[in-house]
Amino acid sequence: MVVLKTEGLKKYYGDVKALDDVSVEIEEGELLAVIGPSGSGKTTLLRSVAGFVQLDGGKIYIRGRDVTDLPPEKRNVAMFFQNYALWPHMTVFENVAYGLKVRKLSKEKIREKVEWVLNFLDIGHLANRKPSQLSGGQQQRVALARAIVVEPDLLLLDEPLSNLDAKIRMRIRFELRSMLKKLNIATLYVTHDQEEALSIADRIAVMSNGKILQVGEPREIYRKPVNLFVADFVGVNCVVRARPEAVRKLGIAVPEGAEELSLVIRAEEAVLSRYNASIEKTPHDLLLNGVIVGRLYLGAKTRYEVKLQELDDNIFINSEEDFQLNEPVQVLVKEGSYFLYA
């Protein structure tokens, strides 16, 4: 069953199109991540679904019900705010119980549900603390508990991990995904972190300038980006601007009539080897010659700046091997790890 359906949402701020004909769908239990750089309109989309944005056009349906003109309090979607928005004058218990009180549940029922959700999120022992006495990670859980305890039709997550430090963030990704799957709750997840989206989402929508450029499963987004923007935004890449003749010489089919091409190379998948090493390659793989012009020691790996001979541009590739400055090297980019756009 379709939980959320938006049809042609439009929102303009003066000349800026924050939402430009945005249509998405979320199925029961599905986690859709919307990614894009800041200013792409992803947060505006989330806030329109919550009802905090006055739209200039389009329709929003939640479980088939037209909620476009309903105020936020009548939509039964629960939002997780990027800064948590916990109420400082209430305890954790009161924060989480708020939505249930509004729904006029009995005292016993409220206690039961709040205790369940706090234990589910492993923060049962914090029930009587005030938000100011909690760590960032604990506050994040309380905000999540407050949103899911009301059993909303749809969960809206606005950059839920962005305020956590990098190490915790990695660990929480797994927890968050398995938790959302356990609850089987339809979720709209907004983030600027493409890696986070790839690892956590069932499907991903890539946004730029108020438009949705591509919607698909993480693998599809990563392997078959529809345009230069998506290809460059997802993954760790180097974009090389090249003339068609130079690209043709590498043995890749070049689109007709293009004056300049953009070659997106997934730097995280490119392999660096010595110039005289023998390398097995298929006809569709890309083998480039270059020279090391810079190196940066990162611990387990070293980051090399490689000047490409054929393409007259520099790219950055990490490698575990040790290369010297000015050493000639070969760069192998497998089929599916590079994309060519006119």
CB closer to other proteins, 100 vs 264: 100
CB closer to other proteins, 141 vs 266: 141
CB 159 to other proteins: min, Å: 13
CB 50 to other proteins: min, Å: 6
CB 99 to other proteins: min, Å: 4
Site string for other proteins, 121-140 (x = CB under 8 A): ---------xxxx-------
Q: Is 29 in the site for other proteins (CB under 8 A)?
A: no
Please tell me the distance from the alpha carbon of residue 191 to that of residue 280, in angstroms, as a whole number: 39
CA torsion 195→199→201→202, rounded to 10°?
Answer: 130
Stretch that binds other proteins, among 7-15, 86-94, 160-168, 282-290 (CB under 8 A): 86-94
CB closer to other proteins, 4 vs 150: 150
CB 79 to other proteins: min, Å: 5
CB closer to other proteins, 19 vs 148: 148
Please tell me the distance from the alpha carbon of residue 116 to that of residue 194, in angstroms, as a whole number: 32
Do 204 and 221 touch, CB atoms closer than 8 A?
A: yes
User: What is residue 55's DSSP assignment?
Assistant: -
Q: Which of residues 93-122 bind other proteins (CB under 8 A)?
A: 98-99, 102-103
Per-residue burial over 295-321, b if 16 or more Cβ lie within 10 Å, else e, is: beeeeeebebbbbbebbebebbbbbee
Q: Which of residues 132-191 bind other proteins (CB under 8 A)?
A: 132-133, 146, 150
Stretch that binds other proteins, among 58-66, 85-93, 231-239, 326-334 (CB under 8 A): 85-93
CB 31 to other proteins: min, Å: 19
CB 172 to other proteins: min, Å: 21
Q: Which of residues 41-80 bind other proteins (CB under 8 A)?
A: 50-52, 71-74, 76-79
CB 100 to other proteins: min, Å: 9
For other proteins, how many residues bind (rule: CB under 8 A)? 28
Please tell me the distance from the alpha carbon of residue 97 to that of residue 117, in angstroms, as a whole number: 10
Do 31 and 189 touch, CB atoms closer than 8 A?
A: yes
Strand locations in the chain (E): 2-13, 16-22, 25-27, 31-35, 57-62, 65-66, 77-80, 154-158, 187-191, 203-208, 211-216, 237-242, 261-266, 271-274, 286-297, 302-308, 313-319, 328-333, 338-341
CB closer to other proteins, 128 vs 309: 128
CB closer to other proteins, 130 vs 211: 130
List all residues 6 or more positions away from 138 whose beta carbon is below 8 Å from its beta carbon: 123, 126
List all residues 6 or more positions away from 133 whose beta carbon is below 8 Å from its beta carbon: none
Q: Distance of alpha carbon 310 from its chain centroid, rounded?
A: 34
CB 85 to other proteins: min, Å: 4
Q: Is 276 exposed, middle or buried (0-12, 13-18, 19+ CB in 10 A)?
A: exposed
Q: Is 36 exposed, middle or buried (0-12, 13-18, 19+ CB in 10 A)?
A: buried
Do 6 and 59 touch, CB atoms closer than 8 A?
A: yes
CB closer to other proteins, 111 vs 243: 111
CB closer to other proteins, 78 vs 263: 78
Question: Which positions touch other proteins (CB under 8 A)?
Answer: 50-52, 71-74, 76-79, 81, 83, 85-89, 98-99, 102-103, 130-133, 146, 150
